[in-house]
Amino acid sequence: MTYKAPLKDMLFNIQHIANIEEVAKIPGFEDAGFETAQAVLEECAKFNEGVLSPLNWAGDQNPSSWKAGVVTTTPGFKEAFKQYAEGGWQGLQHPADYGGQGLPKTIGAACGEMLNSANMSFALCPLLSDGAIEALLTAGSDDLKATYLDKLVSGQWTGTMNLTEPQAGSDLAMVRSRAEPQGDGTYKVFGTKIYITYGEHDMAENIVHLVLARVTGAPEGVKGISLFVVPKFMVKPDGSLGERNDVHCVSIEHKLGIKASPTAVLQYGDHGGAVGYLVGEENRGLEYMFIMMNAARYAVGMQGIAVAEMAYQKAVSFAKDRVQSRPVDGSVKASVPIIHHPDVKRMLMTMRAYIEGCRAMASGAAAAYDASHHHPDAGVRKQNLAFYEFMVPLVKGYSTEMSLDVTSMGVQVHGGMGFIEETGAAQYLRDAKILTIYEGTTAIQANDLIGRKTSRDGGQTAKAIAAQIEVTEAALLKQGSADAVAVAQRLKAAREAFVDVVGFVASNTKASPNAVFAGSVPYLMLAGNVVAGWQMARSLLAAQGELAKGIDAGFMQAKITTARFYADHLLTKAPGMRDSIVEGADSVTALALDAF
């Protein structure tokens, strides 16, 4: 089965949740209104449906391979990447000064979802390049920008992010890779980096590695980490490629999922030292790397939505075709397609509601990002930045955990056939698992939500979001339809649960950290559930308005029904989650360690 982009839902969000016409009032985005969004998304859909989606199953069955330091990607990937680069897709959100199109994230995020639905293993290569571009734009010298950005933005070269080492996973204070200054402005880099996505491949002329390492004599811990550009091939003054640098791929991993994406072990400096160039200032590498990490965390959230969408499409297709059992109401004496059965409908509605809720949440976050970076008013920028930064762990954490539920449900809808690899349903579940792990596990997102995003400001940002939710509740009650009133009631209960938990976190993080962090992931899931539910409530209001105008009645009624389902079946979990967080910490920590 090939992918069909959900363009109507994406454009609905861009218009009604992200308010693209407001984004288009920001200087530099004047030409990026709804018509532009529609044209770009339609073109993007053609490429992903026609070129990348047919390669997805092939990549799972015939993954990237390594031999004597050389990585060969799945047949067709190299040609597809050439088309991707020539189509200008790598530069979609990047500045026109470096050959990009300078479009807002509001549009780019939807294109990223399509790319990942069509072929997540392929999409990881441009995702890492995006991060490298962001880091260089923020902290790179004029020379580094001049040397690398045009080629990265065009897709002629690709980028990587090198954090993890065999002894240093999430704790980057343990990084041991070292960089020795050479006196001419360059450094020699030595060390081993693992889990490097597209660290070696055959799809581009050069690979630009961004590497965390310690300069000789640097302080211990995270304060002594610097960031370096280490190219696979040295770049001559005229921009052409020179000799091979001393960085080599010594193996690639054999993985549960995303098999076509080569995950490399890279060795730096076995033959005298890899030449590296400092990004920004010494000992500020972690700060710069977090620029890449934040871009990547949002993008991984989009991957969760993307793989869930593909699992949903496949499950719906199977449920319409698979004939099994008579209906429980006896309305037909013969067996019927399983989509007639209430529990199959429940599973499909759950999948659909989760996806639409997370997609709307991510679209609203993208618009906040655009305003936070480009709006002329400093106050508006600050307000939107606080909102966007609160959203990043929700988009990453909630959407990826959601994708595990949805892809598992997709297998369940297929029954025994879902457990058979040849149907393809299992690939989405296997691919989804990494999303809750890389770019910071769900627990790390939850720690971020508690420490940096909630307790640091005494819960003020979270409470401001709750106040916006309350405004939506009032609008639902004013709208007055049975669906709107029912959603308002569910949303109110969920918001109150969220506010209770925010108060608990803000009041107890310093005094009782174990009690708060025992509920950190449940808090993340509660917050994601409530914010996604809020966006579904906003969607219901927008769809009611469009329905009243007679616009696309079938789609709008489906949106209203899905929003009502989200409120009845998913938002209703919030009060119980509140109880487990606020009142259940003791039972998490009570059991003696030797009793496990």
Catalytic residue set: 439
Q: Which amino acid belongs to residue 421?
A: E
CB-side exposure of 474: number of CA atoms within 13 Å? 6
Helix, strand or coil for residue 235? strand
Distance CA 9, CA 572 (A): 24
Q: Cα separations (Å) of 55 from 3, 60, 117, 313, 431?
A: 11, 9, 12, 17, 15
Q: What's 161's DSSP letter?
A: E
Per-residue HEC secondary structure of 451-479 comes to: HHHHHCCCCHHHHHHHHHHHHHHHHHHHH
Query: Which residues pair with residue 227 across a beta bridge?
Result: 212
Nearest CA to 195 out of 441, 446, 521, 449 is that of 441
CA distance 574 to 492: 10
Strand partners, 186: 277
Spatial distance between the Cα atoms of 66 and 90, rounded to a whole number of angstroms: 26
| Residue type at 335 in one-letter notation | S
C-alpha span between 571 and 533 (Å, rounded): 6
Q: Taking a C-beta distance cutoff of 8 angstroms, is the pair 483, 556 a contact?
A: no
Distance between CA atoms of residues 535 and 539, nearest Å: 6
Helices vs strands, H then E, count in the chain: 21, 12
Which residue type sits at 16?
A: H
- What distance in Å separates the CA atoms of residue 532 and residue 517, rounded to the nearest whole number? 23
What span, in angstroms and rounded, lies between the C-alpha atoms of 37 and 21?
10
Cα 18–Cα 24–Cα 28 angle in degrees, nearest 5: 130
Task: Give the whole-angstrom CA distance, residue 163 versus residue 293.
Answer: 10
CA distance linking residue 407 with residue 412, whole number of Å = 9
Q: Supply the DSSP string of 246-279, one letter for each residue.
A: SEEEEEE---SS-TTS-EEEEEE-TTS-EEEEE-
Closest to 137 measured CA to CA, from 186, 175, 99, 173: 99
